[in-house]
A and B are shown apart, each in its own frame.
Chain A
Amino acid sequence: MIELKNITKQYEINKNNTITALKDINISIKSGTLTVLKGSSGSGKSTILSLIAALSRPTSGEVIVDKKQISKLPDNFASLYRRENIGFIFQKYNLIPNLSVQDNILVPLIPNNPDIKTIEDKLHSVMKKFNIFHKKDIEVQNLSGGEQQRVAIARGMINNPKIIIADEPTANLDEKLSLEFIQILKDLKGEGRTIVVATHDPLFFDLDFINDTIELKNGKVV
């Protein structure tokens, strides 16, 4: 259960200029649901995602995830929270070039310093699941857009997160790959995960397995 209570987020550009990204927002997301954040760019979708992921702190208000206050977590605890609960899918994938598929996917696992057996098992299962096992030793910059997308998803899933956050995931994909991605989301939701997607891709707007659509305009819920 994700709750945003009275959230205001302001960014300081310089001494005299602040931008208000979110104005007194209240959002409630139930566990196991898929929520779509809709709105044009600059409407505050990405800000909400980063607040849920504890990547930034609100100027005022609270973010509560599973009854835990995460908006004021110190940096190290925020990172730990992300590691254990959040699976990220970035808009531009943000894969690390010159690393292989395998090495990219295991990045979230590195700080834990797990033993080799655990790592191999986890990698194996997640790569098979997203159908990129056959390319595990290939450097990611040599993959197609769709394959890179799947690597990004696999990386987000390696820690078995409860919450998946996707920011404009289909922005760089063609329709076929976008539909493939949507199918993956459906499967993940079927596993009981909470999914929050920020997008203005119309493919998302009439799906039957979407639980909630929140539209944002100028930092306010419409």
Chain B
Amino acid sequence: MNRYLVEYALNSLLRNKSKNIFIITIFTFLVFLITSVFFISNSIKYELNKTVDHLPQITIQKLQGGKVVNIDSDFANEVLQLTGVQDAVARVWGYYYFQNGGVNFTIMGIDNFENQYTNSLQKIVDDGSTKPFHSDMMVVGSGVEKILQDNFFDGYFNFILEDGTFKKVKVGGVFKSELELQSNDMILLSKDLAYEVLALSEDKATDIVVKVANPNELQTIVQKIQLLDPNTRVVTNEDYKVSYQNIFDYKSGFFLALFITTLFSFFIIIYDKVSGLSSVEKKEIGVLKALGWRVDDVLKEKFYESFILSGLSYILGVFLALFFVYILDAPLLRDIFEGYSVLKTSFNLPFVLDIQTLTLVFFITVPIYVASTIIPSWRASIKDADEVIR
């Protein structure tokens, strides 16, 4: 590397200080924005994929007129009779809209709640709760606890039942804050309580989850279930994985808007460069050639100039994106992903180093900028430089 050439390139950049600072700022901001969004979506996907294998192997929903409705609990027994099915359990879960708080809680009914709590759930519950756990209590996510406290419910909540009466349920535990992404809006109750709160009749269930003995037989069992009742929708573990893959459609909505705006801003910068050099810049190239610089030397210098500018912007943009997303928890951007929900998660996303993303962002910015600088310089430098003398 020719250090004198680099020095010359730096001086050249400093000669147009304000213009270049402007370009660096815009460039860095664009890289920062795109990289941040990619970081967020990659991290969300990562978080989803880390636990996907622990979701139920088969979930059966009942369809009526193309819409999902409650399923008969007895259907679980029918499914249990199929060979290869290890277990089939009817689940009760749904949403409870808390009007004063303007939030949706997800309610999940748990079988054998007290036992499950002492055996496993306790591990993921905050140690703050010292009271002994009863099955008529509920375990809630930290977001739920916060909403309750904001609405003056201290350690309990009054569900409004179907008949208009209140059902008071005490909070038996709050999930650890590390589990916020998964549990923020969750309320775990005993199955009986869930039936009450969700106003579901005892012979119905929300869906049925099935465990199979041999994972390789999953598809066969799915087919068997659908033969049993063609009006069912069967969701497998594999379907979850597919769903997680297409959670972000990069061709539509937010991403499309972002990419178009970014590309547009970027091309404005490029257009300014490609539309040719100013007469001052042309003269400078002429002088350099007169002093013995070859075209290669001129282009090398221009390369250094543009690479320093764009490379620096890229590195700075990535650095800021890392800081913004993983240390500051992406303050404004997360509102786009969280939408109108009142229950905001802390957005404490896992750090995922995706070389693909970083490489992609690099290649759609730096080489294009470098090319847009070199090409007009090349065009100017291959001309006869005798105008310089005039």
Residues of A within 8 A of B (CB): 46-47, 49-50, 53, 55-57, 75-76, 79-80, 82-84, 86, 88, 90-91, 94, 96-99, 103, 106-111, 113, 119, 155, 159, 167
Which residues from chain A contact B386 at a C-beta distance below 8 Å?
46-47, 50, 55-56
A55 touches B290 (CB 8 A): yes
B2 at the interface (CB under 8 A from A): yes
- Ordered by A's residue number, 24 sampled pairs between the chains whose C-beta atoms are within 8 Å are A55-B289, A55-B386, A75-B295, A79-B295, A82-B289, A84-B292, A86-B292, A88-B291, A91-B389, A94-B287, A94-B388, A96-B11, A96-B284, A97-B15, A103-B7, A103-B11, A106-B4, A109-B4, A110-B2, A110-B4, A110-B8, A110-B297, A113-B5, A159-B292
A50 touches B389 (CB 8 A): yes
A57 touches B384 (CB 8 A): yes
A-B interface, 6 closest residue pairs, ranked by CB to CB distance from nearest: A83-B292, A50-B386, A56-B386, A79-B294, A111-B297, A56-B384
Which residues from chain A contact B297 at a C-beta distance below 8 Å?
79, 110-111
B293 at the interface (CB under 8 A from A): yes
Closest chain B CB from A196 CB (angstroms)? 12
CA distance A88 to B11 in the complex (A): 22
Which residues from chain B contact A75 at a C-beta distance below 8 Å?
294-295, 382
A107-B288 CB under 8 A given contacts A94-B283, A113-B2: yes
A82 touches B11 (CB 8 A): no
Which residues from chain A contact B384 at a C-beta distance below 8 Å?
55-57
B296 at the interface (CB under 8 A from A): yes
Closest chain A CB from B294 CB (angstroms)? 4
B385 at the interface (CB under 8 A from A): yes
Closest chain B CB from A20 CB (angstroms)? 15
Interface residues of B in 1-48 (CB under 8 A from A): 2-5, 7-8, 11, 14-15
B390 at the interface (CB under 8 A from A): yes
Closest chain B CB from A185 CB (angstroms)? 18
A82 touches B292 (CB 8 A): yes
Which residues from chain A contact B15 at a C-beta distance below 8 Å?
97-98
Closest chain A CB from B293 CB (angstroms)? 6
